[in-house]
């Protein structure tokens, strides 16, 4: 396109030069001069039309290129978004798959990272679960078999609002089952308001203890199979 415009420009310059030269020739007859000028005018008009046509074609081409660029950019962004959504979906599914059936319930046991009670509570909720809400000795015995020995794990009980009134963070109601260690809860130094489960190897059992909510512990998240199925379906259909 640029070469064509350049050629037309050269031709226009030649025609203009010829017109100028013709005006300086006195030997031509008036009729011949008129005829010559008409030809020059026609040539100039043709070149001008060609230039306008080439300019319009260039504008159309540039417009089409811009449209293609925009379309490619949009398609690229759509691919990036789809890849990101796939990654998020995979991560969410992975979170659900870490739950294992222990006894009659489904748990995720954090064994690597310690958190304070509030952060552990939030982490479980991020996973579509809650801190473990233990309801029987059978549940505690089932957990003991898979918990690390001599370790503390946060569960959902706390008496943050009122001393010795332990509330389940899961239901917002007073706890109904307790399995305290000897002389517990004692609210030592008036600073222990969250409940942990400790695995005693000496007695081969797990017992509850009240502890400072700011301490770092492992934790146990709990969910149900129905929730796992529901969450999985939601994630896949998104």
CATH number for position 218 = 3.10.100.10
In terms of domains, do 34 and 133 share one? no
Structural domain count, the chain: 2
The pLDDT value recorded for residue 217 is 98
In terms of domains, do 105 and 81 share one? no
The pLDDT value recorded for residue 191 is 96
In terms of domains, do 91 and 147 share one? no
What is the average per-residue pLDDT within 128-154? 95
In terms of domains, do 112 and 87 share one? no
In terms of domains, do 89 and 179 share one? no
Point out the domain boundary residue: 95, 122, 143.
Answer: 95
In terms of domains, do 105 and 91 share one? no
In terms of domains, do 82 and 107 share one? no
In terms of domains, do 71 and 135 share one? no
Q: 56 pLDDT band (50/70/90 cuts)?
A: confident
In terms of domains, do 123 and 220 share one? yes
- Reduce the secondary structure of the chain to three states and give it as a string: CHHHHHHHHHHHHHHHHHHHHHHCCCCCCHHHHHHHHHHHHHHHHHHHHHHHHHHHHHHHHHHHHHHHHHHHHHHHHHHHHHHHHHHHHHHHHHHHHCCEEECCEEEEEEEEEEECHHHHHHHHHHCCCEECCCCCHHHHHHHHCCCCCCCEEEEEEECCCCCCCCEECCCCCECCCCCECCCCCCCHHHCCCEEEEEEECCCCEEEEEEECCCCCEEEEEEECHHHHHHHHHHHHHC
In terms of domains, do 190 and 232 share one? yes
Task: Write the pLDDT tens digit of every residue in 214-224.
Answer: 999 999 999 87
Asked if the model's pLDDT at residue 173 lies above 60, the reply is yes
* Average model confidence (pLDDT) across the chain: 81
Task: Write the pLDDT tens digit of every residue in 95-134.
Answer: 557 889 999 899 999 999 999 999 999 999 988 899 999 9
Range(s) of the domain holding residue 135: 101-237
């Amino acid at each position: 396109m640029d070469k064509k415009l350049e050629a037309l420009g050269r031709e226009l310059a030649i025609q203009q030069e010829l017109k100028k030269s013709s005006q300086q020739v006195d030997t031509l007859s008036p009729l011949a001069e008129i005829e010559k000028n008409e030809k020059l005018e026609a040539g100039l008009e043709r070149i001008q039309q060609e230039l306008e046509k080439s300019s319009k074609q260039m504008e159309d081409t540039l417009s089409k290129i811009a449209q293609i660029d925009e379309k490619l950019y949009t398609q690229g962004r759509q691919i990036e978004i789809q890849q990101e959504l796939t990654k998020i979906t995979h991560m969410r599914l992975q979170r659900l798959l870490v739950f294992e059936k222990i006894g009659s319930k489904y748990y995720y046991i954090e064994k690597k990272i310690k958190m304070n009670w509030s952060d552990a509570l939030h982490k479980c909720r991020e996973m579509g679960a809650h801190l473990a809400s233990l309801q029987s000795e059978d549940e505690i015995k089932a957990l003991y078999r898979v918990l690390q020995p001599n370790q503390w794990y946060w569960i959902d009980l706390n008496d943050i609002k009122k001393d010795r009134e332990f509330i389940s963070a899961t239901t917002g109601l007073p706890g109904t089952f307790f399995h305290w260690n000897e002389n517990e809860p004692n609210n030592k130094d008036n600073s222990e308001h969250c409940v942990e489960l400790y695995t005693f190897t000496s007695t081969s059992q797990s017992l509850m203890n009240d502890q400072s909510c700011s301490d770092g512990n492992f934790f146990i998240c709990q969910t149900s199979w129905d929730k796992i199925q529901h969450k999985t379906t939601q994630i896949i259909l998104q």
